[in-house]
Structure formats: structure tokens, C-alpha cells
Amino acid sequence: MASEDKFESVLSTRYCKNSPLVSILSETNKATLWRQLWIWLAEAEKELGLKQVTQEAIDEMKNQKNTFDWPFIRSEERKLKHDVMAHNHAFGKICPSAAGIIHLGATSCFVQDNADLIAYRDSIDHILKRFATVIDRLAAFSLQNKEVVTVGRTHYQTASLVTVGKRGVLWAQELLMAFQSLSEFRDKMRFRGIKGATGTQDSFLTLFNGDEEKVEALDELVTKKANFAKRFLITGQTYSRQQDSQLVFSLSLLGAAAKKVCTDIRVLQAFGELLEPFEKDQIGSSAMPYKKNPMKSERCCALARKLINAPQEALTILADQGLERTLDDSAGRRMLIPDVLLTAEALLTTLQNIFEGLTVQTDNVKKIVDDEIAFLGLEKAMMMLTEEGVDRQQAHAVIRKTALEAKQLQATQKVDIRQTMADPFFDSVRDRVVGLVNNPINFTGRCVSQTENFIEKELKPTISKYLDQSAAKVQLDV
């Protein structure tokens, strides 16, 4: 059946079809990891003196690790209603010398949980690299526009001037904090290890004739082979699903930060100040051919909502895990965690494309600044007047009256700062204010140095571990 004739996830077929995550989270990779875990377990058991595990059996498993008889596996699972045992039988069938020691002492969660953790770790490593590239691209945009003066906005209304670059690093800071959360989670991830059916390690204690030190060494050895620095010292049948919740929450922070950034871009595109990349043959509207809609930022907002809402399900999975283990978590985790990882990848890929092509509509930005500069000059006038001994509250009252009168004129004519400050009250500061108004960068405070300092002192050191300087630009298929 052609793929177009059946439903498939839009994450894997539309937004992430070229991503390595599609392979990392695939059924084949999961099954390969299960077999690798069986090999590591057998190796560790042999290294610790378990005589029933032979080198011949280990070599056979290694040689057949990537040989899959999927029709047989599916047939076994239909019959047994147990995916791990179906794979166990299939692996034993092609590894007759190892059939008796595959999965020795283990429970299903030995392969299920540990393989999931390896796949999550590998996915996170890729996402952090993508994330670092996204932040780096935004930093480049911010530096390029660090001196481009624009109108600041509070409550979506005109406020003191800022620069486009300073606004960019505000966005970068939100994304960087989410990046740090995910990076810290990656560093603290714990492996389940070998714990047995209810977490007591009793089966392994039996295999090693009650030798607790060997069981502890076995747990450490398998953890080391899987390249994890940390492991859970205690578990039930599964590792704590709170760790999954922490992963999902870190990705939800990415969603919230990205939604804030992309909502801002959409608003600024509506104001005519920014323009997200619009490709040569791209169509904005089937009905209105002239339109350039911010569809990439809109897509990011839609994907972000999925991430923002995901923690509720993760917390429910954690809360519903009964005693040493129930299957309340199983179906939900199979869907939730791959989905949030792929959603994060789709979001970051689109965001990278936006930052690589985001342009400032400089003529319109300048026009908006020119329209508002007179009012911002009055704010400077208040500071200057107080320096000369004028009561701050008196200055505020006069400037408020002057500004509101000028606002009424703004709808029909350009507001001139000298005319606005014609009142003799401003005689002592008028010329100084007019001089400043002629160069709007004077109204942006430390925007330029703040932009440079944040990028050099905080952003670059934080992302350096994962940043690939040769990362290619993103070309979106859809």
C-alpha cells in the first residue's frame, strides 16, 4: 500500500522526514538496542564469572544482531501478546548457541526501559546540537542589527527606543534558558540498569549465589557499557517516570520560549518591521496573491502548543504508575515521548530557517521611529529638567499634557519636536533635546553593549559544547 493511501504521522513524514530522529526512534533501532542490551548483559555476566554464558554465545549474538525476521517477530507477538518475548524467541531462533542465556536474569523492562533511555539520550544529543545552531543563528541576526534603532513596545504600545539586536538577544535569552534546562537534564540522566522483576535484583542474586558485590558490579558494568555516567540505585520494575516528566518539561520550556519569539515576529511583521523568509515561488494565499503571511512562525506557534501541553500527560503517566509497576504508562509513553522529541525537532528546524532568513524592513522601521521620536524626546526632557532643579512631578505633568496634545495632532501631521517643546517651560533644555532627536541611537541606552556582552559572556559559552560551526542552512520542504 502506498504511503499516501494510509495515515502516517505528519511529524515523521512531513516535518521531520529528513531528521536522524526518525531512525533513532524507529522500531528497527529499538529492536537493535534490545539485542545490544542482551549482548552487554551476557558480556558482563561472563566477565563476572557466570559459567553458563560462553564466548561462543556472545559472538553468535553479535554476528546476528542486525538480522531481523520481521514476519516471524510479528507472528510471535500476535500469539504471545508480549513484544519482548517475541523478540527473544526471534533472536534465539537465529542464535541457537545463545538461546538459553538471552535475557538471563532480566525482566522485560531491562530492554524496554534501558533501550528507551539510550534512544532518548541520542535524540537529545541531536536536539541540543540543533538547538545550539538555532541560538547561534539568532545571535548572528542580533549582532548584525545591534545598532538598528526601533520602537520598543510595552502593552503592544509605543515605548522607549530599543535596537533590533537588543530585542533579538531578549529572544535568545529565553531560548538559551530552555537550552540550559535540556542540557542539564541530559547531564543528569540516569540509566535503569539491571534491577530484576520488581527492582530487588533477586534473580541476579540467585545467579551469583548471593554475592551482592557481584550483582552491584553487574549493574555498574552494564551501565558503563551503555555509556551512562549515572544510574538509578533503586527502581521498581521500571525506572521512575518522574525522569520522563523532567524531559518533557524541558522540551515544554522550548515550546513556550519559541512561541513567545514567534508571536513577537508575527506582530512585528504585521507592523511592517520584520519579514520572515519568503521563498521565490512561495504562495501566501490562494485567494489574495499579494500576501506574505508569516506561515513559518505560525507553524512554530502550533508546534509549540503541543510541547506546552505535553507535561500534563507526562505527569499523569507518573501519577498513575501503581506500586512496583502497572501498564498504565506503556501505551502513553510509546506515543508521548517520541512525539515531543519529534515536535521539538520540527520546531527547531523551522525556527532555524526563520532566523537564517529573517530580515528587517529598515525603511519602515525608520519611519515608525521618526513618527515617535518627538514623544521619546520629551522623556529625555523630563530627566534634563530635573537635573536643572525642576520638580520631577511638575515636569511629568507638563510633559504629559504636551505629549497628549501632540498625539492628537499625529493622526493628521508629523509631530516636530521643536514645535512640541515651544512652551517656555522647555527653554533651558530644548536645544539639547533637539540635538539628541537627530540621532535616535542616543535614546537606546546600553542596547548595543548589552547585546554584545550577552552574546560573548553568556550565550557563546553556554552553547559551545554542542555548536557545530559547519552546520548547513535549513531548506524546508513544506
Q: Name the residues annotated as catalytic.
A: 155, 285
Joined grid coordinates for residue 52:
553458563
Strand partners, 157: 154
Burial class (CB in 10 A: 0-12, 13-18, 19+), 102: buried
Coil vs helix vs strand at 475: coil
Residue from 141, 150, 171 nearest 362 by CA: 150
Burial class (CB in 10 A: 0-12, 13-18, 19+), 213: exposed
Give yes or no for a contact between 427 and 144, defined as CB atoms under 8 angstroms apart: no
Calculate the dihedral angle through the C-alpha atoms of 118, 120, 123, 129, rounding to the nearest 10 degrees: -100
Give yes or no for a contact between 327 and 83, defined as CB atoms under 8 angstroms apart: no
Give yes or no for a contact between 61 and 100, defined as CB atoms under 8 angstroms apart: no
Q: Residue 409 contacts by C-beta under 8 Å, 6 or more apart in sequence?
A: 415
The Cα 466–Cα 23 span in angstroms is 21
Sign of CA dihedral 398, 404, 410, 412: negative
Q: Which helix (H) or strand (E) holds 123?
A: helix 108-144
Backbone angles phi, psi at 160, to 5 degrees: -55, 150
In the chain, the N- to C-terminal Cα span, in Å, equals 24
Joined grid coordinates for residue 403:
505629549
The Cα 154–Cα 156 span in angstroms is 5
DSSP at 15: I
Give yes or no for a contact between 287 and 372, defined as CB atoms under 8 angstroms apart: no
